[in-house]
Amino acid sequence: MSVELTCLALAGLLWAAQLAHLALRANLEIGSRYFLSPRDTDPPQPLSPGTARLKRAYQNHHEALLLFAVAIAVLTLADKESAVTASLAVAYLLARTLFVPAYLLGWSPLRSVFFGIGYLCSILLLVLALL
């Protein structure tokens, strides 16, 4: 498997780990009764600031992962993998991994820097696939 596809698989596992961590913390805070319900009403209490940050980090990765997945799919199907694209894929994965604690711990402006690095890597991968 190429480095780029490996990074995509690891980014998917990061996404799954974020969801599991968020679900665990939310269940501990709000209780499983609400999460097992149809959720027709608002939760009985808001999430703590840390868990709310985890939720936003998860949602952000959910959105960012789509662009990265498209970039890796196009790159792979076009057979345009190279040392540069492998490096960009690794940089994306590192940036997205660091984004989670940066968001959780309120590291500003590092959170935005990590987001920007990941986004730029995805865009560059798409551009390189088209060249």
What domains are defined for the chain?
Answer: 3-130 (1.20.120.550)
For residue 128, the Cα-to-chain-centroid distance in whole angstroms is: 22
Cβ–Cβ < 8 Å for 8, 89: yes
pTM across the whole model: 0.91
Cβ–Cβ < 8 Å for 89, 72: yes
- pLDDT value at 45 more than 90: no
Cβ–Cβ < 8 Å for 9, 69: no
Average pLDDT in the 66-93 region? 98
- pLDDT value at 42 more than 90: no
Which tokens is 42 given?
A: 């608002």
The pLDDT of residue 38 = 76
User: pLDDT: is 35 or 111 the higher one?
Assistant: 111
What band does 61 get if pLDDT is binned at 50, 70 and 90? very high
What band does 113 get if pLDDT is binned at 50, 70 and 90? very high
Q: Token pair 């057979």 is at which residue?
A: 79
The pLDDT of residue 92 = 99
Average pLDDT in the 102-124 region? 96
Average pLDDT in the 2-19 region? 98
Question: Residue 31: which region, alpha, beta or left (left: phi > 0; alpha: psi -120 to 50)?
Answer: left
User: Do you find a cis peptide bond into 109, omega within 30 degrees of 0?
Assistant: yes
